[in-house]
A = this chain, B = another copy of it.
Amino acid sequence: MKTNELPKYFKNIDDELWFEEVEVEKKDLKISYKVNKCFSYAKSPYQEVALIDTNAFGPCLVLDGVMQTTSADGFIYNEMITHIPVLTHKNPKNVLVIGGGDCGAVRELAKYEELETIDMVELDELVTEECIKFLPEISGGPSFDKRINFKFGDGVEYVKETDIKYDIVMVDSPDPEGPAKDLFGEEFYKNVKRTLKTDGVMVCQSESPMIHRNIIENTRKILKNNFKIVKTYIAFVPTYPGGIWSFTMASDVYDPSDMDVNRLPLETRYLTKKIVKSCFDLPNFISDLK
């Protein structure tokens, strides 16, 4: 349903429009962005989807009042969640992306010629439609590599039911609130493992080591119960509260310390051959995490 109203988290302050994001867990921190324009705002069956143009970070995707990705820094998140598992796997052919409706992750994956199939299971088709229209810096716009298959539906159900076995599964989820809550539970990760080949690699975004330490520890605990090798890595994600973001990857076979950095595609804006290794060198206060 398209709507003409403005999102309730927009505020008019001294004749300027501002988008105010409240940190979800403790509600004691807000980031506010001056808004130049609201490209689109609509309610899908799952959430409120807004595409807005901010002065500081350009066009952005906002879901239920939470900043998801911006034109200015979305490339960092997408490069980090994509290249680390692909380089860690020695010979990947097919990849499943769960979530990732902004299409930034599948666009990064398409940089690898060796991949034959890239499946994306996004719950909310409206997110993808709007990002294709209003966020081409992330989505790449309306034309997609032929290896990419959109399968709109529930990722939790998909990994329970599919017969396909993947080399890599990437869990590109929003915060564990609302429709994404199940993407942080043990049953889901057991099914992710079921969907992987025996030498498969999985990765998930595991939230901020500054603010959501309990989420990282819980995710790591679940993954350690199910995989032999579990490694957390970090990157700067300026527009997420706390600034540092963590990702956790898991496999029974492949260790990221053995990755061949020379397979990194040339066209990256954040990652270098050095950083694909050094992102695993955690500061002491993060390596303390269980």
Among B211, B242, B244, B272, which residue has its beta carbon within 8 angstroms of that of A284?
B272
Q: Given A32-B30, A238-B242, does the pair A285, B270 have CB atoms closer than 8 Å?
A: yes
A206: which B residues are within 8 A, CB to CB? none
Q: Which residues 248-290 of A have a CB within 8 angstroms of B? A: 268-272, 274-275, 278, 281-285, 287
Selected contact of A271 from candidates B234, B236, B242, B284, CB within 8 Å:
B284
Contact of A269 among B18, B32, B281, B284 (CB under 8 A): B284
Whole-angstrom distance between the alpha carbons of A214 and B13 in the complex? Answer: 28
**Residue of B with least CB distance to A32:** B30
In the bound assembly, the distance between CA atoms of A236 and B246 in angstroms comes to 12
User: Do A274 and B281 contact each other (CB < 8 Å), given the known contacts A29-B31, A33-B28, A210-B73?
Assistant: yes
- Name the CB-closest residue of B to A280: B274
CA distance A55 to B275 in the complex (A): 33
Which of A9-64 touch B at CB < 8 Å?
Answer: 18, 23, 26-34, 54-56
How far does the Cβ of A224 sit from chain B's closest Cβ, in whole Å?
Answer: 22
Please tell me which one of the listed residues B72, B275, B281 contacts residue A283 in the complex, with CB atoms under 8 A apart: B275
Chain A: residues with CB nearer than 8 A to chain B?
A: 18, 23, 26-34, 54-56, 72-73, 75-76, 208, 210-211, 234, 236-244, 268-272, 274-275, 278, 281-285, 287
